[in-house]
Amino acid sequence: MRIFIIYLVFTIFLSCQDKVQINKMRSTTPNNLSDSWMQKPFIKNQDMFPILKNDPTESFFCPVLNQEVKWQESYVFNPAAIVKDSKVYLLFRGEDLIGKYGGTSRIGIAESNDGFNFIKRPMPILYPDNDAFLEIEKDGGVEDPRVVESDDGTFVMMYTAFNGHMARLCVATSKDLITWQKHGLAFSKAKNGSYKNLWSKSGSIITRQEGSHFIATKINGKYWMYWGETDIYLATSDNLIDWEPILKEVKSGKYFTTYLGNGQYKEEYSPPQITFKTALTIRNGRFDSRLVEPGPQAILTDNGIFFIYNASNDLNKGDQNLYDGEYTIGQALFDVKDPSSVIRRCENFFLRAESIDEATGQLNNAAFTEGLVYFNNKWLLYYVMSEAKIGVAICDLQL
């Protein structure tokens, strides 16, 4: 009898916790529907959630470990999305349970005729290998792709290489989405290689829309990319492979004299303080008070550069209706003539984890996106809930 009472009390407690979570999730005011520049509404297809999940039965021969591994045994998440040959392709992050950092990530691919029902290829398409990039990919792996097209039909993937200590933004290219050539660090040639050990990730390239295709497009003679995961920064490129972060000078350099004692002086030079130019930063009192991070490709529109971004909440200075560290998804609009200039920005998020099923995973209360396509006259936004399951939200409106 005593055991039954304890069990009953525990069950009621969990039930109350679930209700508190759901109530809290419903208490935040949405964006104003009169914000005509925003793309909305995005409606989740809950009937098909999740559209993609892990598969502990699939394995492939890892050339680094020299053994078969179940490469998507743990989680499947963070997909890029692109349309090719009238099909939607998701390039997703699959994670195993091997390695000192809790699992190694590889990038797989799945295809769909309707954008909702996907079939995975059994083998990953990008993974750590015994190549020139093993040092930056070993143990952690490759993750978080974002894919666009170039004018000649080449697919360009920005992805993160992680070795357990450092995340580095990298580039790969392909003609068919299956066979990829790694080009290494996106910033390897910038400033004489001084950014090789820069923590960097999440590259969202500015594109133009041509039907279902999103093609990297130059502005003022350069390709542009938003990147970063604290603030969002900018970089430019001539060829979509070698990227140069845009800097701004905060404080000019100067000479100064230090007295060493005993009549001795030392003249020293303080170099200029340089930082990356910021395109989007955090805001107090809002859902994006802890960090901001790029979402899918940025898109040139008649109103400006349309941009979806991910954000995390700081309960001490952010939205009190959200959880501490909760990830939600927002929108912004940049000036076409100056991609660093914000024209408009959403008052609040437009997508978040709502149900208990969505809110639990290896990172609870987290909605994150990096895949967006225009397919069959609809916008399909592919999002991840709590770094565990992939869903889709649909919008019928034109940008």
Task: State the CATH class of domain 40-244+280-395.
Answer: mainly beta
| Per-domain residue ranges of the chain | 40-244+280-395
**Residues contacting 213, CB < 8 A, separation 6+:** 83, 149
Per-residue pLDDT of the chain (399 residues; tens, 9 = 90+): 444 333 333 343 333 333 334 334 433 455 654 567 888 789 999 888 889 989 999 999 999 999 999 999 998 999 999 999 999 999 999 999 997 788 999 999 999 999 999 999 999 999 999 999 999 999 999 999 999 999 999 999 999 999 999 999 999 999 999 999 999 999 999 999 989 999 999 999 999 999 999 999 999 999 999 999 999 999 999 999 999 999 986 656 566 666 677 767 777 766 656 689 999 999 999 999 999 999 999 999 999 999 999 999 999 999 999 999 999 999 999 999 999 999 999 999 999 988 777 777 777 788 899 999 999 999 999 998 877 789 999 998 776
In the numeric block, which tokens belong to residue 223?
A: 């390709």
Indicate the pTM of the whole model: 0.87
Kindly report the CA angle at 48 between 43 and 52, in degrees rounded to 5?
110
Classify residue 248 as exposed, middle or buried by CB count within 10 Å of its CB (0-12, 13-18, 19+). Answer: exposed
- pLDDT score, position 361: 73
Centroid of chain to Cα 147: 11
- pLDDT score, position 266: 73
Backbone torsions φ then ψ of 381, nearest 5 degrees:
-105, 120
